[in-house]
Each structure stands twice: as structure tokens, then as C-alpha cells.
Amino acid sequence: MIIGVPKESFPGEKRVALVPAVVPTLAKAGHEVVVETSAGLAAGYPDADYADKGARILASRGEVFAASEAVFQVLCYGANDKTGGEDLPLLRRDQVLMGFLRPLGSPETVKEIAATGAIAFAVELMPRITRAQSMDALSAMSTVAGYKAVLLAATTLPRMFPMLMTAAGTIAPARVLVIGAGVNGLQAMATARKLGAVVSAYDIRPAAKEQVLSVGARFVELPLEAADAEDKHGYARSQDETFYQRQRELLARVVAESDVVITTAVVPGRKAPVLITAEMVARMASGSVIVDLAAERGGNCELTRATETIIDHGVTIIGPVNLAGTAPYHASQLYAKNLTTFFLHLVREGKLQLGLEDEITRETLLTQGGEVVHPRVREALHPQGGYPTLERRTS
């Protein structure tokens, strides 16, 4: 198949879907790669590097879509709510589209993609099972975001992270609290520890304690029990408001004692739960920092504003969006490996395998034959029920 890599069109997005290093891997499997000129330049990958590895450079976005049987993007329409809709006329029937599509957050855009006849796969729906780990782009990007969140906090905090013993006196280490022990939270913990901070963490999932301890952080235990804390895909489940109210009450003291709080709690397809209220912020010491990695979903802090940095009661609250994109060279490298592995899993002997008996295919396939085929997205489109039943395709 011919795989096309257009330049990312979302404002400020510097990542690229494929890097030159994976082109020979795809070529060995019989595939050809075409790349829009300058697609990788902002991430540190010039056209000459792609050409040296055997890719063809095409002059325009339209040429890439027209020449490709499969299109790889970082932010497809849905995840790209600014300019992504401009790609709809370029898609055609049975053309494969792979990337982040935010299907549970914007199901209507999936319906529009389905109308083009394209076969779309959402990488953020990759099941968290052992054999899919090398394809898990969401985890890879979360790793970058967790790392960058700590650096952002460290440069904002008006004190240093490590304990230092100097002739002028001893400097106490910073106290960092990470709420949410997913991939980004664990990376944040590990990075904060490397910088010398004293790190604590909290998560509603009981299984998270062992993971928190494994990176050298202290697990904050609250006398609070969550019902069905984790779904079958390994993600935290949404709880009722009574639970969150009690959680906030118990977390208030821990938050107030922290110099830095990094929040990472999100529930796929839903608004992020509020874990830190304005009252809790007011109890924090002046100069403290909150980095809210759930900002794009509404924020875990009541005061968070997505893409903005504000100061309230002397506390700096940062609402970053797309932190992974601020390290585009390595983020693109990781993403390209994820996408390449995923594609080679789906395409064997030159043919796209759409058997729904495979969990990886079943969980990521969004559209096929002009229809939205993913059950959870169909439910999101028809929240009152009554959505039509599809005949399950097996090939």
C-alpha cells in the first residue's frame, strides 16, 4: 500500500506522523511512503532525511491524499477541531485513516468521516493489553506529557526541587503531589524524583499503589472506596458527585501541604472531574504551582483555564494543552513506531485485515463502508438508545 504523511495543520502542532527511521521498516513489508514537503521539518526531520530512507516527497497536501491508500496523521479531524474539517473532501471510499480522532469527545465528526467512505482507526482507543503495548500511542504521548509537566512546574516554582546542603544553609526539597497514576502521572512522579523532589501520589484505583511505589513515590491512602474504579480497558471510571465531594475533603490537607500539584485525572469521553476547588487553592502556600493535565477536558482544578496560566491567591495554575507536542522530535519518534507497528498488524500479505475477532481491530475501528461501526461511538451518537444494529463484519 502507499502510505501518505501530510503536514499537520492544527495551529502550532509540530509533530509528524512518521519519521524517516521507520520508512525502511514499511518498505521491507512492501509499502511505499509519500510525505508532504516540510511535513517533518518542525519536528527536526527535513525532507532530505525522508528521501534518503526511500520516501517520496510530494509538493502539496492534496497530492499526498490523492496518491495514498492509507493516510497517517497525528491529529485527524475530530482531534483537530480548527482545520481538520478541510481534509474531509480529500478523503475517499476505502482509504485508510489512522491517528488521534477524539471519537468519544466529538462523535459527530466521526459521522462526517464515515460519510466519505474512509476506513478510520482511532489510536486513542487502543486496548491496554500486553500485545498492544507497542501500538499504544496514547500511552506514548502521555509519557512525554508527564515529563514535560514536571519541567514546566519546576521552571515556574520560585524554589528548587532538590534538597541542597550548602555553606549558606540547607535547602529543603520541594513537595510534589501527583493526582492520577496513569502513564502520564507515573512519568511525572519519576521525573520529579529525578529532580530531587519528595513525591506523593493518589489514585482511586487500588492497583495503582504498587505502581506508585515502584517509581519511588509515596502513595496517599484515603479512607474512601470507589465502586468499579477501573473499566475493562484499564481506564478510571467516572464516579458520582458524592464520591468526588468526599474525595476533595480528604485531599484538601495533602494539597495544602504541597508545593506542586500535577493533576492527570480524565475519563474518556467525559468532562474531567473537579478534584481541586477554589477553596483548596486558597489554602495552598503562595508561590505554589498546579499543572492541570486535564485542562483540555475542563480541568481537575476548578480555576483552570485551558491554554492559559493564571495566578489565584498567589498560586500559579497552568492549563497546558498538547504538552506532548512541545517535544516534537521524540514525540514523533515514539508515535511513528506506534503507528507503524499498528499498521503492520492490520495489513498482512498486502491486504487490510478487518476481522473483529481481533480485539485490537475491534476496539480501534471507527468507520467502514460509509457507517460508524464502533459501538461506543454509536451509543454517543444515539444517547437515548435505538441506534440501528450493524451486521458484524469479520473480514
Q: Give residues with Cβ within 8 angstroms of 285, minimum separation 6.
A: 256, 259, 314
339, 123 Cβ separation under 8 angstroms: yes
Cα Rg, the chain, nearest whole Å: 22
Residue type, 390: L
H/E stretch holding 62: helix 61-67
247 is an active site residue = no
Residue type, 114: A
Grid cell in block for residue 296: 483540555
Name which of 134, 122, 220, 223 is nearest 180 in CA terms.
220
Grid cell in block for residue 218: 509515596
136 is an active site residue = yes
6, 33 Cβ separation under 8 angstroms: no
Q: Which of 68, 95, 106, 139 is catalytic?
A: 139
133 is an active site residue = yes
DSSP one-letter code for 17: S
Q: Give residues with Cβ within 8 angstroms of 24, minimum separation 6.
A: 53, 54
Q: Give residues with Cβ within 8 angstroms of 347, minimum separation 6.
A: 1, 29, 31, 70, 353
Q: How far is CA 338 from CA 3, 54, 96, 162, 209, in A?
A: 15, 20, 16, 35, 28
| In the block, residue with C-alpha cell 492541570 | 292
Q: Give residues with Cβ within 8 angstroms of 249, minimum separation 6.
A: none
CA 309 to chain centre: 21
One-letter-per-residue 3-state SS of 139-187: HHHHHHHHHHHHHHHHHHCCCCCCCEEECCEEECCCEEEEECCCHHHHH
Q: Give the integer Cα–Cα distance in Å for 377 and 362.
A: 12
Q: Which of 38, 60, 133, 134 is catalytic?
A: 133
Total Cβ atoms within 10 A of residue 129: 14
Q: Which of 87, 136, 203, 259 is catalytic?
A: 136
Q: Give the integer Cα–Cα distance in Å for 280 and 215.
A: 27
Q: Which of 159, 193, 218, 235 is catalytic?
A: 235
Q: Which of 56, 128, 218, 376 is catalytic?
A: 128
Catalytic site positions: 128, 133, 136, 139, 235
